[in-house]
Amino acid sequence: MDASNYLYISALLFTIGAVGVVVRRNAIVVFMCIELMLNASNLSLVTFSRINGDLDGQVMAFFTMVVAACEVVVGLAIIVAIYRSRRSASVDDASLLKR
């Protein structure tokens, strides 16, 4: 199977994630969409690693996972704080700051 197909899937996942960020309201879902984008990138990395025949891409994918985990920690902390104070996880409710 042609490796480039994985790239197309990766791009598709990335796009889905990006669109999800824009269209979904729930902060958790938005965040998951971002994770989807990161994982799409990982898929690309691994694919390229395969194409190039070295391990750098795979190593980088591992780093990404670690970083994503860190992001989850920070992100959930923030989202929980917001949810506690607002009783809502909708990102549209948090729109005090504008213009």
Partner 1 sequence: MFISNTLVYLIALPLAGAAILLLAGRRTDKWGHLLATAMSASSFGVGLYQLMLMLDRPTEQRPASQKLFEWIHVGEFKVDAGLLLDQLSICFVLLITGVGTLIHIYSISYMSHDKDRRRFFAYLNLFIASMLLLVLGDSYLNLYVGWEGVGLASYLLIGFWNQKPAYATASKKAFVMNRVGDMGLSFAIMIAFATMGTVSFVGVQEQVSQTSEAALTAIGLMLLVAAAGKSAQFPLQAWLGDAMAGPTPVSALIHAATMVTAGVYLITRSNFVFDAAPTAQLVVVIVGAITLMFGALIGTAKDDIKKALAASTMSQIGYMTLAAGLGPVGYAFAIMHLLTHGFFKAGMFLGAGSVMHGMNDEVNMRKYGALRKFMPITFVTFGLGYLAILGIPPFAGFYSKDLIIETAFDAGGAKGIILGITTLIGASITAFYMTRVMILTFTGTKRWDGDAHPHESPWLMWLPMAILAIGSVSSGYLLSRGDALENWLYPLFDHSDEYQKHLIEPIIVSGMALTMVAIGVAVAYFKYARQDVSSTAPEDVSIFTKVARQDLMQDRFNEAVFMRPGQALTTTLIATDQAVVDGAVRGVGQVALSSGSALRGLQNGYVRSYAAIILVGAIALIAAIWVVVS
Partner 2 sequence: MIFTSPALSYTLLSPILILLGGALIGVLVEAFVSKALRPVVQLTLSLGTLMLALMQVWRIRGEESLTPAMGSLVIDGPAVLIQGSILIIAIISIFLIADTEQFTPLAAALPGSAEERQAEQAGNQVTEVYPLTLFAVSGMMIFPIATDLIMLFVALEVLSLPLYLMAGLSRRRRLASQESALKYFLLGSFASAFFLFGAAYLYGFSGSITFSGIQAAVVGGTGNDVLLLIGMSFLSIGLLFKVGAVPFHSWTPDVYQGAPTPITAFMAAATKVAAFGAMLRIYYTVFANAEWSWIPVISAIAIISMVLGSLVAIAQRDVKRMLAYSSIAHAGFLLSGIIALNKSGLDATIFYLFAYGIATVGGFAVVTLVRDSSGEVTDLNRWKGLGKRSPFAASAFALFLLAFAGIPLTSGFIGKFSIFSAAYENGATAVVITGVLSSAIAAFFYIRVIVLMFFTDAVEDGTAVEIPSILTRATVIIAAVITLVLGIYPAPVLDFITDLAIFIR
| Phi, psi torsion values for 87, nearest 5 degrees | 60, 35
Nearest Cα neighbor of 40 from 19, 65, 63, 13 is: 13
Stretch 46-75: interaction string toward partner 2, x if CB under 8 A: -xxx-xx-x-xx-xx--xx--x--xx--xx
Pick between residue 45 and residue 91 the one whose CB is nearest to partner 1: 91
**Interface with partner 1, residue 99, by CB under 8 A:** yes
**Interface with partner 1, residue 50, by CB under 8 A:** no
Distance set, CA 76 to CA 21, 72, 83, 87 (Å): 16, 6, 10, 15
Per CB under 8 A, residues contacting partner 1 are: 18-19, 21-25, 30, 91-92, 94-99
